[in-house]
Amino acid sequence: MLFELAVFDYNTAQNAYSANVNRIELCENYNEGGITPDISFLKKVLTLGNIDIFVMIRCRSGNFVFNNDEVNFMLNQINLFKKLNIQGFVFGALTSDSKVDIESCRSVINAAHPLPVTFHRAFDHCSDMHKSAEKIISLGFKRILTSGGKPNAFEGRFIIKNLISIYGNQIIFIPGGGIRNHNLKEIIKTTSASEFHSSVILTH
C-alpha cells in the first residue's frame, strides 16, 4: 500500500520525511482546502531529501469552475514547476453544471506531460460519478482522489469500493478525506484500494 500525505507547511513536510511517507501532495492554505504552493516553498521542501512530490494546481479557493484567464495562469504554473524535481500534479476542474471540464482538464494534462496528474476531490462534486470517472480516464488522468461523494472516505467507503470494482483496472482510486488510524483498517478492508491519502501521518 502507498500512503500520500497532504502537506501545507514546512514542519509537516519534515514530519512526512521522518515518517517515510510514500508521497507528498504539496499545497498551501489548509483552511481554503488547498491551493497551489509558492515555488519557494517547494524548493525548500526539495532540500529535505528524496520523496515523490505531487504539486496541487489550484489558483484559488472556492468552486472548481475556472475561467480562461485562471486556466492559463495555472498552465504557466505547471510549466514553472516542471523545471523542478517533482513527480506529478493534482488538479480538477468542473463546469457550472457539475460535470468534468474537458477542455481545461485536457489543457492541464497536455501541459503536465509526461508527468502524471491526479484528479482531486472536485470529483466528489460531480453530478454523475460514473460518467465523470469515464471522462477522467479518457482524458489521461492516472488517479482520482475521492471520499466517494461523502463528507469523508469512511462514509463513502462502499461507493469507493464500487468505483474500484468497475474502473480499478483503468485508473487508481485514492480514498481520502477524514482517514485516521481508527478507521484506516476498515477503509482498507472495504475498498481494497492500493493508495490512501490523509492530512495527518498514519501509523502503517
Whether the Cβ atoms of residue 136 and residue 144 lie closer than 8 Å to each other: yes
Comparing C-alpha atoms, which of 34, 106, 108 is closest to residue 74?
108
**What are the DSSP calls for 134-168, one per residue?**
HHHHHHT--EEEE-TTSSSTTTTHHHHHHHHHHHT
What Rg do the C-alpha atoms of the chain give, in angstroms? 16
Judge whether residue 173 has pLDDT over 60.
Answer: yes
CA distance 167 to 29: 32
Whether the Cβ atoms of residue 133 and residue 163 lie closer than 8 Å to each other: yes
Q: Model confidence over 151-164: pLDDT tens digits?
A: 999 999 999 999 99
CA distance 64 to 165: 27
- Give the SS3 label for residue 50: coil
- The CATH fold assigned to 60-198 is TIM Barrel (3.20.20)
Q: Model confidence over 21-50: pLDDT tens digits?
A: 999 999 998 888 899 999 999 999 999 989
Judge whether residue 203 has pLDDT over 80.
Answer: no
Helices 157-167 and 129-139 sit at what angle, rounded to 10 degrees? 50
CA 122 and chain centroid, separation: 9
pTM for the complete prediction?
Answer: 0.95
Whether the Cβ atoms of residue 80 and residue 39 lie closer than 8 Å to each other: yes
Average pLDDT of the residues in 67-77: 98
Average pLDDT of the residues in 135-140: 98
Look up residue 119 and give its amino acid.
Answer: F
DSSP symbol at 176: B
C-alpha cell at 34: 488547498
Residues 6+ apart with CB under 8 A from 88: 52, 53, 54, 55, 112, 115, 116, 117, 118, 142
Q: Other CB atoms closer than 10 Å to residue 17's CB: what's the count?
A: 16
Q: Model confidence over 100-120: pLDDT tens digits?
A: 999 999 999 999 999 999 999
